[in-house]
Amino acid sequence: MKILGIDTSNLVMSLAVINNQQLLGEYTTNLKKNHSIRLMPAISLLLDELDVEPSALDGIAIAQGPGSYTGVRIGVTTAKSMAWSLGIPLVGVSSLEALAGNGNYFSGYVCPLFDARRGQVYTALFENGERSENDQITMMESWADQLAALQKPVLFLGDDVSMHQSVISEKLGNQARFGPPDWNVPRASYIAREGSRKIQQGELSDPNLFAPRYLQLAEAEAKWLAAQQAKET
């Protein structure tokens, strides 16, 4: 079963193709460049290098969010279009879960996080590769207090960890662990493997109804809704 994994939910753009859990190829960049321009050529290049025709794909797995609104939307739209045109299954994988996959063998908790501005983070919690807390948006200070109460080592992953490292270190002290830089980059190979598992178990999504998981409204949407509510009162 050949599965294409895609992640454009943040600055990282990662693509991978697996065949029956074997990684055939992976392409990952961590650059502030336009995913909307680079994504399709990168997919074409990877498939060409692997000598895999799009029609040979058995499914597509996409990082569904949370993350950058624009980044998530670009990846989801591309994945939906490809799945619909090829007539193959589409499945979504949490962007936070994909990042946490880098620390699956850490002895303790794994906390992936993305900055969500104003002291907030998108985050979740995993232990031994299993989810302990659902994806959420929360204040970093209160989240750090919650993690400190676990009284176990916590591995923090993500390029945005540095933005909150002072709070993390203050609240958790020696409980806090920080991985090497390459562990902060999500891998599409994880998304493809998890997607393959979901497809085999029948956890499929309708491409027409599939939607990103933002966890919060975009700032423009929130302002528009607030304006509408103000008009009604």
Same domain flag for 169 and 112 = yes
In a domain, 233, yes or no: no
Considering only CA atoms, give the Rg of the chain. Answer: 18
Same domain flag for 121 and 76 = no
In a domain, 58, yes or no: yes
Same domain flag for 119 and 100 = yes
Give the count of domains, the chain. Answer: 2
Domain containing residue 107: 96-184
Same domain flag for 7 and 82 = yes
Give the domain CATH number at 84. 3.30.420.40
Residue found by looking up tokens 């591995």 in the block? 155
Q: How far is CA 216 from CA 32, 96, 105, 117, 132, in A?
A: 23, 15, 31, 12, 21
Report the relative pairing of strands 154-157 and 130-139 from DSSP bridges: unpaired
Peptide bond into 180 cis (omega under 30): no
In a domain, 61, yes or no: yes
pTM reported for the whole predicted model: 0.90
Same domain flag for 12 and 87 = yes
Same domain flag for 177 and 143 = yes
In a domain, 224, yes or no: no
Q: Is 108 exposed, middle or buried (CB count within 10 Å of its CB: 0-12, 13-18, 19+)? A: middle
Same domain flag for 166 and 123 = yes
Q: What does the pLDDT profile of the chain (233 residues) look like in tens digits?
A: 999 999 999 999 999 999 998 999 999 999 988 999 999 999 999 999 999 999 999 999 999 999 999 999 999 999 999 999 999 999 999 999 999 999 999 999 999 999 999 999 999 999 999 999 999 999 999 999 999 999 999 999 999 999 999 999 999 999 999 999 999 999 999 999 999 999 999 998 888 889 999 997 544 443 433 444 455 55
In a domain, 73, yes or no: yes
Give CA 211 to chain center in angstroms: 14
Same domain flag for 133 and 213 = no
Report whether 13 contacts 45 (CB < 8 A).
no
| The three-state (H, E, C) secondary structure of the chain, written as one string | CEEEEEECCCCEEEEEEEECCEEEEEEEEECCCCHHHHHHHHHHHHHHHHCCCHHHCCEEEEECCCCCHHHHHHHHHHHHHHHHHHCCCEEEECHHHHHHHHHCCCCCEEEEEEEEECCEEEEEEEECCEEEEEEEEEEHHHHHHHHHCCCCCEEEECHHHHHHHHHHHHHHHHHEEECCHHHHCCCHHHHHHHHHHHHHCCCCECCCCCCCCCCCCCHHHHHHHHHHHHHHC
User: Could you read off the pLDDT of 170-189 as tens digits, one per residue?
Assistant: 999 999 999 999 999 999 99
